[in-house]
Amino acid sequence: MAGAGALVRTAEAAQGTSAQVGDHAKLALVAQYTDNPVIITDREGRIEWVNQAFTRLTEYRLEEVIGKRPGSILQGPGTDLRVVREIGENLRAGRGFRRQIVNYSKSGRQYVLELDVQPVQGADGSIESFIAIERDVTESGEVLKLALESARQGVWHWNAGNDKVVLSSHFLPLFGYDLQTATAIEPTLVSITHPDDRHALERWYEQLKEGRLDEGEIEYRIATASGEWHWILSRGRVVVDSRARDTRRLIGIHNDITQRKTAEDQIRRMAYFDTLTGLPNRTLLIDRLSQSLSLARRNHTQLGVLFLDLDNFKNVNDGLGHETGDRLLVNVASRVTGALRAESVVARLGGDEFVVLLPDLREAEEAAVTARRILEVLIESAGAEFAVTASIGIALFPNDGDDPLTLIKNADTAMYAAKDSGRNGFRFFTHSMNDSVMGTLKLETRLRQAIREGTFYLLYQPKVEARTGNIVGMEALIRWNDPELGIVPPNEFVPVAERHGLIRALGDWVLNAACKQNVAWQRAGLPPLPVAVNVSALDFDDPELPARIRRALQETGLEARYLEIELTESALMKDAERTTALLHEIKALGVSIAIDDFGTGYSSLAYLGTFPIDRLKIDRSFVRDLPSVNSAAEITRAIIGIAKRLSLSVVAEGVETQDHAKFLQDEQCDDLQGYLFSRPLPATDFEAMLRGGSVHPT
């Protein structure tokens, strides 16, 4: 179960709403609207939550009982203190139990409850709370007779002296048996009892008959006339005949509890299984992993945990819809399960994350073989709609962890290493990975603080006109000098920002700081020039990006024509139709748009003609080899030619030598950027350069 505290909070949130809710809310609604009173207490027995049925029965509202022990408000003169003590012993021992007890309502009305209490365990096995489900059994006289006639119950009487058994005649017909057939079924029901339950039922009757039990109960299944299995709860008690003390009589009742068992199964499935795929969820995985670890310790064997994350699953959801994404997840669950041994466990943690438990490994290579097989079946299952690949991390007991949470965490760490290595592969966890993760965690913490405090700064690199050397623009580049970590390169902290949901805040800071500085220079009398700001591929996925750019322009007062947005080629081509619409929104603001690192991605020239862009930036990897490497020269000429035909201007970045500059000038490249003219400079140094108006090669 998800935990009583979570159920309490979800129940309170779910009251009075008709909206669709998740699994926890479904559990809460089951508890809230059942006809039986439900009480949730903490592990000390103090009430945390009660449902509406409890209020109707006891007349106490939740706010009147919260924090109190049930016995302190519900017990009265007719309450059996022996039962109270027995209940207390079971609670202190963390055991579930079922008892009958006399209670009293707020107005003093006496009633009899059948109390069913079960403990709720946390992931570490400790008792977190108790859930009590109550049933009012205050039945007497004509009411009891009416209930027995209308309910699926059978009253039985067994004389152990002559083995004569009598069962109420209306019981078996309720299960589809006609009177003639019903008389042929013995009242103990053994002949129609499920084979798996038959021995236990016979043994229970035998214990009652022989005096080893004075009273007791048992749950078992019987077959209906149509072949269905119904659950029966039988209760029995021995009554000694006062006239013949050696003769024992047994009386009891059979009760059809099929609906209750079905509801319990549904609640159990919602608590322990993923509703979409039917796989075990995190709670059940922890339980299975704990059991497997205990066995591995006793047998001195290895155990493997594989953490599987689908590659680019977000693109499927965004591009094809969540319904398609759900079908993919169900398909993955089926394929992975089918690729494993029967004793292996596949669980879904949520989203596109799965964990595979491999018990009883003889050697680490078995885990690698399994990971390869999973990757193969995923590729084989790829349909026309999408290709399916995954990244898998592997952690092994005992080397990589001695408890479930550590093994899962380390397998997760190894999975990220697999993603960073190119995806569609697997990696084993190593302690050096753990050191790297700890470093990343520290980096994330410092990065969050830097975003809050605004401790980043910008450097500016000029763009010069190839023909004249005049400064025609600039690119703003973010830098970070952390008090603890020192200078952290962008290629280290930007991926961390993307991975941990910080890229939007980081992007907004750069955008606002660059616009603000540009306005300050213009107000100081310097020539107005456009400033280029890079937008990460992940930030480009944000549909609010145009609104954020508009807000930065409004807040800083920069005219839109003096701002240029640089986007990488690969970011633009993830979803060409969406990209076109988003670029038109940005272009409508009046800003310029450039494609950065052009030539390194996978652009379609057909789409390139439809994108509302102004400029192409030739990637430094081509400029570096100019003019000596023929392939680099030809690609550069082609990019310039494409740009001219599409009426786009061209900027070459990474220009470091006179040979680079001359080749690009000869090929009619418009603007140049690189160390030949200037390294990125702080704002004060760049201002001094601006006052000169042109840049001479160094």
Question: Is the Cβ–Cβ distance between 174 and 256 less than 8 Å?
Answer: yes
Q: Quick check: 452 pLDDT over 90?
A: no
More confident residue, 537 or 316: 537
Same topology between domain 4-137 and domain 455-692: no
Question: Is the Cβ–Cβ distance between 255 and 148 less than 8 Å?
Answer: no
CATH code: domain 275-429 is 3.30.70.270
Distance CA(576)–CA(572), nearest Å, equals 7
Q: Quick check: 152 pLDDT over 60?
A: no
Percentage above 70 pLDDT, the chain: 83
- 393: β partners: 307, 427
Q: Quick check: 549 pLDDT over 90?
A: yes
Question: Is the Cβ–Cβ distance between 393 and 411 less than 8 Å?
Answer: yes
Classified as helix, coil or strand, 641 is helix
The string of DSSP codes covering 415-434 is: HHHHHHTTSSEEEE--HHHH
More confident residue, 355 or 113: 355
Q: Which CATH class is domain 142-263?
A: alpha beta
pLDDT in tens, 226-250: 889 999 888 887 765 444 445 567 7
Global pTM exceeds 0.75:
no
Q: Quick check: 140 pLDDT over 90?
A: no
Q: Is the peptide bond before 627 cis (omega within 30 degrees of 0)?
A: yes
Q: Is beta strand 390-397 parallel, antiparallel or unpaired with respect to 456-465?
A: unpaired
Q: Where is average pLDDT lowest: 212-221, 428-437, 610-619?
A: 428-437
Q: What is the pLDDT of residue 13?
A: 42
Q: What is the mean pLDDT of residues 496-520?
A: 92
Classified as helix, coil or strand, 234 is strand
Q: What is the mean pLDDT of residues 528-552?
A: 92
- Give the burial class of 189: count Cβ atoms within 10 A of its Cβ; 0-12 exposed, 13-18 middle, 19 or more buried: buried
Q: Which two tokens stand for residue 134?
A: 């109550």
Query: What is the distance of C-alpha 94 from the center of its chain?
Result: 30
Q: Quick check: 287 pLDDT over 70?
A: yes
Residue 179 Cα distances to 176, 231, 255, 256, 413, angstroms = 10, 21, 19, 19, 67
Question: Is the Cβ–Cβ distance between 261 and 269 less than 8 Å?
Answer: no
Q: What is the pLDDT of residue 143?
A: 39
Q: Which CATH class is domain 455-692?
A: alpha beta
CATH code: domain 4-137 is 3.30.450.20
Count CB atoms within 10 A of the CB of residue 328.
Answer: 22
More confident residue, 187 or 626: 626
Q: Where is average pLDDT lowest: 39-53, 147-161, 446-460?
A: 147-161
Q: What is the mean pLDDT of residues 460-483?
A: 94
Question: Is the Cβ–Cβ distance between 464 and 471 less than 8 Å?
Answer: yes
Distance CA(107)–CA(278), nearest Å, equals 47
Distance CA(473)–CA(690), nearest Å, equals 10
Ordered by start, the domain boundaries in the chain are 4-137, 142-263, 275-429, 455-692
CA triple 514-518-521, angle to 5 deg: 140
Q: What is the pLDDT of residue 23?
A: 44
Count CB atoms within 10 A of the CB of residue 140.
Answer: 8
Helix (H) or strand (E) holding 540: helix 537-540
Classified as helix, coil or strand, 573 is coil
Residue 214 backbone dihedrals phi, psi, to 5 degrees: -90, -30
Reported as a pLDDT band with limits 50, 70 and 90, residue 382 is low
Classified as helix, coil or strand, 480 is strand
Residue 2 backbone dihedrals phi, psi, to 5 degrees: -70, -10
Reported as a pLDDT band with limits 50, 70 and 90, residue 566 is very high
Distance CA(179)–CA(224), nearest Å, equals 14
pLDDT in tens, 296-340: 999 888 999 999 999 878 777 766 777 888 888 888 898 898 888
Reported as a pLDDT band with limits 50, 70 and 90, residue 600 is low
